[in-house]
Amino acid sequence: MYFSGHGAQILAGDQAGAYLLPVDVRYGSDEELAATAISGKEFSEALRQLRSRRVLVIFDCCHSGG
């Protein structure tokens, strides 16, 4: 599995964590980001459900911090 794109963080609150930003993400507020991005928790759960014994995941993501 390969993802090349942007990442972001929500630093506080119930939705705090790391996120992968798909092309159609809405980033006007933390709530919009959490609703339209892929959270680290969501991604990890999807990987756990795979039936494969081994999975290779490559992330090519950046977060400019601004």
Residues spanned by the domain of 26: 2-62
Count of domains observed in the chain: 1
CA–CA separation, 46 vs 66, rounded Å?
Answer: 29
Residue 44 burial (CB count, 10 A)? 10
CA–CA separation, 35 vs 39, rounded Å?
Answer: 9
CA–CA separation, 10 vs 56, rounded Å?
Answer: 26
31-63 tens-digit pLDDT:
999 999 999 999 999 999 999 989 999 999 887
pTM: 0.83
